[in-house]
Amino acid sequence: MTAAPTGWIERLPKVDLHCHLIGTVRASTFAELARREKLDLPDEPERIFADINSLPPDPALYRNTVIPVPQGRSADEPEVSYSLFQASKWVIQTLRDADDLTRIVYEAFEDAHRFSGVRHLELFFDDVPEHLQGLGYAGSVEAYAEGIRLAERDFGMTGRMIKGIDRSKSGEEALARVREVVDNPHEYVAGIGLDNLETVGPPERFADAYRLAGEAGLGRTAHSSEHSPTAQNTITCLDMLGCDRIDHGYYVLEDPEVIARVRDEDVTFTVGSTTSRRSWRPWRRASIRAMLDEGLGVIPCSDDPGMFPTTLTNEYRILSEQIGATHAQLRLMALRAVDACWLPDDEKARLRRTVEDEISELDREFALV
């Protein structure tokens, strides 16, 4: 059982399939834009980002789970906490025009390339905020796409966008959002993903929206078994929503039959060791360890790297140093991430060959073969 050297992890070619655009924004960019827009904030922008800490919901929901959920505060929680959702709302308020949208996409790719050697990145994007309605859906997507094009030119990366479906909204609203995607096809919009707190919207509410996405050939994913301590939501996402992969999925551990099924079907789970709920980070890591022990197909993601903060390299490092994933497991994760991405088949095949060749070269350099 060989551990991966730190240098190998740092240089490993990576793919990130679960990353929220607003959550990638740099603290320095938020500060610059907030001051430009004269946004009235309760503290300095940099201080707000440093103190992001989403407080857990009612602990009574999480008693007697397979992996015990912490019931109290953690030692690293700030005196004043700002939730991830509140910080995200403030960031959105600072975005003035298409150039700002292009900028934050480009910076997301630049940071993924610089700090983690990411070769392919898929970014969740949300509904157009009210103050940017003049851009419309098509205009905002084109602004995002320009950021990807610039990153592809400058960093040799590839990228796609995932339309976030806000589960706090109605099924009818979700269907309208998906119809907007389908009626305005764009080469860089590859799929949809159900997001927001799992406790505010059960997956079955969005069956019609997901059916339309599937008919249009869009990729489908959903945040599942993350906030609701049940494995059943993941089964609903697979069977009723037709999801290609699952974001998070830790509470599949609550049901041995579900564990067996998702292992047999080789379902891919994008997992994050780092979360804005600081007190839950040990639980997250223990859950990922248990998922590995059960032979489940996990791959690391950065989720909201600018706001946690973290990087994909850091997530791989935590997997190795704190969770105990072996070199062979990390190698498999890197390749599984390529296989689970939503690039066209020919581009995916090229990326697979490149990543495989680079990993083999790293293995030889670090004497891991």
Q: Would you state the structure tokens that stand for residue 264, as one six-digit string?
A: 């047999």
Q: What is the pLDDT of residues 322-364, one digit of tens each?
A: 999 999 999 999 999 999 999 999 999 999 999 999 999 999 9
Residue 193, classed as helix, strand or coil, is: strand
pLDDT value of residue 244: 97
Asked whether the predicted pLDDT for residue 203 surpasses 80, the reply is: yes
CB atoms within 10 A of CB 98: 17
CA angle 265, 269, 272 (to 5 degrees): 165
Q: What is the C-alpha to C-alpha distance for residues 272 and 302, in angstroms, rounded to an integer? A: 6
Tokens of residue 316, six digits:
């791989």
| Residue count of the chain | 369
Kindly report, residue by residue over 22-37, the tens digit of the pLDDT: 999 999 999 999 999 9
pLDDT tops 80 at residue 1:
no
- 344 by Cβ neighbours in 10 Å (0-12 / 13-18 / 19+) ranks as exposed
Distance CA(270)–CA(249), nearest Å, equals: 8
- Please compute, for residue 54, the number of CA atoms within 13 A of its CA located in the half-sphere on the CB side: 20
Handedness of CA 276, 281, 287, 293 (dihedral sign): positive
Look at residue 93 and give its three-state secondary structure. helix
Q: State residue 8 phi and psi, 5-degree precision.
A: -65, -45
- Average pLDDT (59-79) is 90
CA neighbor of 5 nearest in space, from 298, 315, 330, 335:
330
| Tally of structural domains, the chain | 1
Band the pLDDT of 267: cuts 50, 70, 90.
very high
Helices (H), 117-255: 136-155, 171-183, 207-215, 232-239
According to the model, what pLDDT value does residue 262 have?
Answer: 98
DSSP of 213-230, one letter per residue?
HHHTT-EEEEEESSSSS-
Distance CA 141, CA 161 (A): 9
Give 101-133 pLDDT, tens digit per residue.
999 999 999 999 999 999 999 999 999 999 999
Q: Average model confidence (pLDDT) for the chain? A: 97
Check pLDDT > 90 for residue 55.
Answer: no
Task: Compute the distance between CA of residue 348 and CA of residue 158 in angstroms, rounded to an integer.
Answer: 10
- Does residue 36 sit within a domain? yes
- Cβ-contact 301, 272 below 8 angstroms: yes
Enclosing domain of residue 238? 17-57+72-365
**Neighbouring C-beta atoms of residue 188, cutoff 10 Å:** 18
Residue 96 in domain: yes
In a domain, 175, yes or no: yes
Q: How confident is the model at residue 58 (pLDDT cuts 50, 70, 90)?
A: confident
Task: State the average pLDDT over residues 292-311.
Answer: 98
What is the maximum alpha-carbon separation in the chain? 56
Backbone angles phi, psi at 228, to 5 degrees: -95, 125
What is the C-alpha to C-alpha distance for residues 322 and 210, in angstroms, rounded to an integer?
37
Q: Tell me: the pLDDT tens digits for 226-251?
A: 999 999 999 999 999 999 999 999 99
Does position 73 have pLDDT exceeding 90, yes or no?
no
Q: How far apart are CA 264 and CA 259, in angstroms?
A: 9
Is 161 strand, coil or helix?
A: strand
The strand pair at 297-300 and 268-271 is best described as parallel
Q: Which of 222, 231, 268 is nearest to 252 (CA)?
A: 231
State the pTM of this model: 0.97
**Residue 298 C-alpha from the chain's centroid:** 13
Q: What are phi and psi of 16, to 5 degrees?
A: -115, 115
How many CA atoms within 13 Å lie on the side-chain side of 235? 13
The DSSP secondary-structure symbol of 80 reads S
| Non-local CB neighbours of 242 within 8 Å, separated by 6+ positions | 210, 211, 214, 220
- CA 243, 233, 276, 41 torsion: positive or negative? positive
Q: Which residues have C-beta within 8 Å of that of residue 149, sequence separation ≥ 6?
A: none
For residue 299, being part of any structural domain is answered with yes
CATH number at residue 78: 3.20.20.140
